[in-house]
């Protein structure tokens, strides 16, 4: 497990003074992930909240080499940089060990960047991909994405007389990535910092691709008070809405299990995006969401108890 005393000695790699919202989960996720290695790191970032708010020209909040990519191609860009590094190291022009990490929101990962990500994973590049998953296209106005959960109200799947919000289940990207048979895949949350930093350490150490899917709260899109970010994070984990799991060399396991899972309504009622579900005509959707979470939890338990390799 990560040592907090040692982590406290590390120099920050993402400085304060950026323009991400107070209470934004993305900056917390980035800081914790970058604590996962002491080696030099090169970062790439897909267009999105993180990139826009940390690189306001002519300033930057990054204290490491940083590459801005288009919305859809951060995995391809970091693949090229990692390949160039390996070639230069083979020729003896670079001696030091350098790590490579790509950051993308769920829009740039689950949807528009999925082809680029899949290709990089299949080719086996030695890099870490981090999805800071805020469950919608937040930077452009809270449009629904493949990561948006069932029942959430967004600007392109709004609740109203004809709709209860997004009708589809969110995409299970963690399982999709695991099916690429890469060395390491995990889900994490900034509320459980030791779990996240430990997973980042593992991800940076493996040879080959690693993927971290980290839930990243957006108080503006999810509509909760900005000071409640970690509280809402914890409820996502404690209700089973966001299970903390890892798939290491094909073997699935929980890295944290609540002693007793709380009802998912405890998580949903904290956010304005689900407020409409508590109307009488929509309460059956709450039951469906709980059923979906219970079934997913049971599926994960089967995978983890069997220690199975799923591909």
The CATH number that applies at residue 84 is 3.40.50.970
Chain center to CA of 206? 19
Q: How far apart are CA 24 and CA 219, in angstroms?
A: 7
**Residue range of the domain that includes 139:** 12-149+168-259
Element (H, E) at 115: helix 114-123
**Under the phi-then-psi rule, with left for phi > 0, alpha for psi from -120 to 50, and beta for the rest, what region is 75?**
alpha
Residue 128 belongs to some domain of the structure = yes
pLDDT digits (tens, 9 = 90+) for 257-288: 999 999 999 999 999 999 999 999 999 999 99
* Residue pLDDT, tens place only, 35-54: 999 999 999 999 999 999 99
Q: Give domain status of residue 154, yes or no.
A: no
DSSP state of 143: B
Across the chain, what does the average pLDDT equal?
A: 96
Q: What is the tally of structural domains in the chain?
A: 1
- Round to whole Å and give the CA distance between 251 and 274: 34
Question: 26 exposed, middle or buried (CB, 10 Å; 0-12, 13-18, 19+)?
Answer: buried
Dig out the tokens for 309 from the structure: 């390799």
Query: Is 175 among the domain residues?
Result: yes
Q: Structure tokens of 244?
A: 């903390």
**H or E element, residue 188:** strand 184-189
pLDDT of residue 2: 73
Establish if 174 belongs to a structural domain. Answer: yes
183 in a structural domain: yes
Q: Is residue 271 part of a domain?
A: no
Alpha-carbon distances of 186 from 119, 176, 178, 253, 306, rounded to whole Å: 19, 12, 9, 10, 18
Predicted TM-score (pTM) of the model is 0.96
Note whether residue 29 is domain-resident. Answer: yes
Q: What pLDDT does residue 310 have?
A: 46
Domain assignment of residue 291, yes or no? no
The tens digit of pLDDT for each residue in 219-268 reads 999 999 999 999 999 999 999 999 999 999 999 999 999 999 999 999 99
Could you tell me the pLDDT band of residue 311, with boundaries at 50, 70 and 90? very low
Q: Are 146 and 173 in contact (CB under 8 A)?
A: yes
Tell me, what's the pLDDT at 10? 83
């Amino acid at each position: 497990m990560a040592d907090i005393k040692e982590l406290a000695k590390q120099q920050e790699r993402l400085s304060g003074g950026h323009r991400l919202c107070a209470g934004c989960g993305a900056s917390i996720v980035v800081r914790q992930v970058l604590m996962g290695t002491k080696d030099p790191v090169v970062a790439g970032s897909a267009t999105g909240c993180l990139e826009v708010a940390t690189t306001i020209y002519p300033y930057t909040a990054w204290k490491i080499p940083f590459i801005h990519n288009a919305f859809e191609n951060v995995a391809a860009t970091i693949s090229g940089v990692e390949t160039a590094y390996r070639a230069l190291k083979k020729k003896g022009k670079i001696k030091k060990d350098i790590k490579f990490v790509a950051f993308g929101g769920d829009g740039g990962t689950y949807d528009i960047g999925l082809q680029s990500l899949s290709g990089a994973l299949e080719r086996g590049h030695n890099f870490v991909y981090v999805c800071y998953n805020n469950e919608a296209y937040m930077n452009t106005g809270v449009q629904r994405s493949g990561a948006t959960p069932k029942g959430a109200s967004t600007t392109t799947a709004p609740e109203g007389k004809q709709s209860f919000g997004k009708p589809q289940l969110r995409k299970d990207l963690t399982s999709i990535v695991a099916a690429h048979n890469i060395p390491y895949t995990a889900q994490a949350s900034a509320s459980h910092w030791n779990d996240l930093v430990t997973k980042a350490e593992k991800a940076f150490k493996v040879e080959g691709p690693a993927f971290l899917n980290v839930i990243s709260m957006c108080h503006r899109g999810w509509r909760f008070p900005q000071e409640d970010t970690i509280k809402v994070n914890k409820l996502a984990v404690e209700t089973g809405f966001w299970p903390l799991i890892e798939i290491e060399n094909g073997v699935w396991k929980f890295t944290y299990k609540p002693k007793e899972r709380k009802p998912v309504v405890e998580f949903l009622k904290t956010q304005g995006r689900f407020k409409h579900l508590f109307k009488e005509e929509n309460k059956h959707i709450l039951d469906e969401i709980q059923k979906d979470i219970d079934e997913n939890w049971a599926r994960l338990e089967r995978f983890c108890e069997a220690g199975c390799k799923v591909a």
